[in-house]
Structure 1
């Protein structure tokens, strides 16, 4: 049996998938989904696809993505979910990633939608690009042969938090068995449960947890665009309240963001009492963050027992372990020095303790074993590498035998993560490759980062701790995003002092940067090794403690050109008397087409032929461009992204304005 059989069995008219903000279709019942995807499955042949071909889905529209996903699986195609270009994508990096995913997967087609089509069509992909509309308009080609359990269903590309993205291969039998085990662990009941998700579809948590679980169980689920959550986190909670949502999952940072929203503006009119599973995974889980969230929404009916930390990875298809129902997340306060020196977990007796959060028990069909560096099993309370075995894990990377051999060996999946077991529950402590080893002691970067983010003035989720070689040992370097600009005076010194007091570490340096500077993956994971490389190359620079002074009014105007390759964190300062400044971005990767962009930013005023006021700054956090739609709609929230900036004269500005009125782009 495969998911194709599940899709064909759907008959429910009383449960549906709902698409928040979709102008065309607000909901599709499971019965309708079955008939529509059966029809769409017959149309892929007219686009040149046959059973076993790879199809890349790069879509931001939830309705189009799910219809395409289900239809492609029913047609026996291999689905390759990919991140669509977004308003936060880095242009060159996104094009490179798209080309690599299509090449490595051997894709025969990339299916997308909206204005993304033009951008991807110009990206030099190794396969044709078509739209969802072209699929619906294609001619049906007769019945399709459903896939077998041993056929390939998905190629899930990892997020690249620790290296280049790799394609995890998932067969139909493994996919169905895994989703069944996860649904059982969560006790999903379509009669009473209602899911809400803002997670991106190309990420394993959003794809497996919030698409395939509802598809298997026919559970009503509401989909919120990821950017909507980023722009208005409280909007997600309003939907949870209005529909009495019961299940939702998110990374740790999202709970911190929602807690911060409540701190600024206490919630009113929310009823979260129906929320029974607030899953937390995809990155290290902070008990303090979850506690702040629970406290912030206690008056809205949220119960701490709904918080369910979990652990998983694409190589396991998704879930490895899920915390059982309880009064709240289980935590241990371990002696930090013992954990660092001999990897033994013992209760802390003084102030030198680190709080560790349980990620729960393994789901059915998964066995967890902790191994030492020599491959020997470790008893409870001893930290080592987390390894897995089970009937519904993935079994390799697509066309990468070397990396497959390193990850799947001796009959086990070696995760590269560190952790320990205690009373049958898994505690994840970090990644082997991220360990900071100073004078023979091991330090996990996320525990250091949690202390840094507790310093007033540091943005939550905006700290990164990395190690760099220094003599015979390593030194700790820290990057901290400031909550606001200018940062508080002495912030770097306070961060260094906090780390020294808590961990006995000497910090080599602290680099305070603007918010949004720390490199992260498309799923929000910190890219520590990339950060370390940027620090070493000098491309990550600190912001000053005070803004640049304005020149005297009598001083002659001086227009400072930006660096040809701006360093991360640099700024272009508009001087008194400067002429019009054009903020240009590259549309669809074509450097010849520019549009002026009005940024809704306290640091930038003016648009078109307006003069910018003196002393204003424009952030340049990254030295490349953004793919953008032809219009200005939907550009809010893109402050601090990568734009080329140059002064232009009034005459040139008038020419550009006239060109736009005539329908041309210069």
Structure 2
């Protein structure tokens, strides 16, 4: 893909080469809701050109344009229309039904200062009201599926340094920031994805990931279009309601490349029944990518074992590491190639060491062979670290974005970092990991790490262990709160409508005992909450920083809570840990 001046040029060439080839295969949410809809490259290209002409006529070239679509087809048209028009696409979730979603969209609007908003006709009134409520009623809200075309479209003057779109980060470790992904970044990352996935014009790539998220946008929409393949699209809602729909689609529609975060594979293991398993055919699933959050060895093994009967081959399982600031992919490869079991205590001390007999161990999944531009650096001294030592992952390369949109302080903090020995132009990812034998092992988030008595505890390890306590547990999160010493707090969803028949105090004690026995850590707070309380990003990541903020500001309404004396607010007796604190 090195011969193209911009990503738009590549997509237009694919449409010209095979205009009747299927670009999108849009699947219904259920068998009762219709048949798949097929969209050719000719239709997609013509629709994007018509809308691009309207955007150019409205003066959107070079300006941000919000995309808030429930329709997957219309999102694809609007995104390509922005590229064709030279506008800067800003993908956003269409609605969340909660105030924090509206607040996040409002914050993005303030930062992006968009020229217009594109949405579906059915959503246009709601989007207009949302903008008006937050003081942005002057921004035109256009129903993209009802906008008449414009004959005056002209190819814009684009080069590799032109910003193609803004990928606002999930906000799971801070306020959302708009990553400026250029056409050159896109071209470079698509080339890297092609090397990992090995797909071509005859391939079908797809899944259920939302298009406003980088993994869904770059991996499941733009990548198939960039290689002239077919993007097979299932809605996120269909997967959440029935995880088996994802696996059924892979067999039924010949999807050979698909991926999702770790939690999705775990959900399939837990919720796909034996009867449903009998009807699956996963023999054609050539590359099953796990990425977007730490890849658990337990999940990989359980998924491979569970669905081997459906024809899934162990070598299909791949693990990948990436982030929006690097467009998407940093490294990836077969999940079984280099899987390593290490000493748990040494891992807490920041080192990869062989396990000791009779001592706790932890299995790490490699995220492929690291490219030359991947370094492990001490986050405090900025000294590069040798193999086997855990530090912050720093990255450089053509897929790394130039910075955040209109945010110079944040850009200076994260982009253009230099090591102590003078190696510059590096992106600080905020992720922790280690290199060993050329392979990259990701161990956690720098800002999420819980430091207790000089030990680094990873919240995802605590969260996974807590799930053993009760089959009624849903999503949970663990985080630390500041003080004279860091204290561990757990917020755990309880899936039950019969809470009065449960001993919630005893359940909270079980959580404490579980973590004390497994990690030798005292738990300062346990909050049992209703389903839906723990915030997650659209890709399924737990928003630990948001949950910590809610906890510290009294924004949680638990069914039951235990708080030790250090966490109690003396002036607020409602926060005291009483056995009758059930609602």
TM-score band by shorter chain is 0.7 to 0.9
5 Å matches for 1:267-278? 267-278=277-288
TM-superposition CA deviations, 1:555-576 (whole Å, max 9, x none): xxxxxxxxxxxx9xxxxxxxxx
| Structure 2 CA distance for partners of 1:80 and 1:519, relative to 1, 3 Å | same
Task: Give the Cα separation in 2 of the matches to 1:202 and 1:334.
Answer: 36
CA change 1:391–1:383 in 2 (3 A) is same
Write the mapping of 1:480-495 to structure 2, written as runs, cut at 5 A.
480-486=492-498, 489=503, 490-495=506-511
Secondary structure of 2:464 counterpart:
helix
CA-CA distance at 1:266 after TM superposition: 5.1
2:469 to 435, 455, 469: 455
**Which of 371, 375, 382 is equivalent to 2:377?**
371
Q: Aligned equivalents of 1:152 and 1:415: distance in 2? A: 21
1:71-82 to 2 correspondences below 5 Å: 71-82=81-92
Q: Distance in 2 between matches of 1:512 and 1:51?
A: 50
| Aligned residue in 2 for 1:187 | 198
- Residue 5 of structure 1 aligns with which residue? 9
- Assess, with a 3 A threshold, how the Cα gap between structure 1 residues 83 and 329 changes in structure 2: closer, same or farther: farther
1:407 paired with 2:423, answer no
Conserved 8 A contact 1:155-1:398: yes
Equivalent in the alignment of 1:307? 317
Shift of 1:508: 1.6
| Distance (Å, rounded) in 2 between the aligned partners of 1:171 and 1:522 | 23
**CA distance in structure 2 between the partners assigned to 1:24 and 1:104 by the alignment:** 40
- CA pair 23-145 structure 1, distance change in 2 beyond 3 A: farther
TM-score normalized with structure 2 length? 0.87
Which secondary structure does the structure 1 equivalent of 2:118 belong to?
Answer: strand
Distance 2:550 2:337 in 1: 36
Is 1:504 the counterpart of 2:520 in the alignment?
A: yes
Aligned partner of residue 4 in structure 1, secondary structure = helix
Partner of 2:258: 248
Equivalent in the alignment of 2:435: 421
| Cα separation, partners in 2 of 1:51 and 1:300, compared to 1, 3 Å | same
Return the alpha-carbon distance in structure 1 between the equivalents of residues 103 and 496 of structure 2.
Answer: 33
SS of the aligned residue for 1:249 comes to strand
TM superposition shift of 1:399: 0.6
**Correspondent of 2:547 among 523, 531, 543:** 531
Please state how far the C-alpha of 1:267 moved relative to its aligned partner.
1.5
Shift of the 379–435 alpha-carbon distance from structure 1 to 2, 3 Å rule, reads same
Structure 1 contact 16–28 (Cα < 8 Å) conserved: yes
1:73 Cα deviation after fit = 0.5
Cα pair distance change 1:78/1:253, threshold 3 Å: same
The whole-number CA distance in structure 2 between the counterparts of 1:23 and 1:259 is 28
What residue in structure 2 maps to residue 361 of structure 1?
369
SS at match of 1:509: strand
Superposed displacement of residue 63, structure 1: 0.8
Alignment correspondent of 1:436: 450
Is the aligned partner of 1:514 residue 2:530? yes
> How many residue pairs are counted as aligned between the two chains?
535
Distance 1:5 1:138 in 2: 21
- CA contact 1:371–1:386 (8 Å) conserved in 2: yes
User: CA deviation digits over 1:415-442, x for unaligned, max 9?
Assistant: 1111101111111111111111112221
Q: Which runs of 4+ in 1 moved over 6 A?
A: 22-25
Q: C-alpha separation between the residues in 2 aligned to 1:465 and 1:426?
A: 25
For residues 102 and 541 of structure 1, what CA distance do their matches in structure 2 show?
30
Gaps of 5+ in 1: 546-566, 568-616, 620-666
Q: What RMSD in Å do the two structures reach over aligned CA positions?
A: 2.3
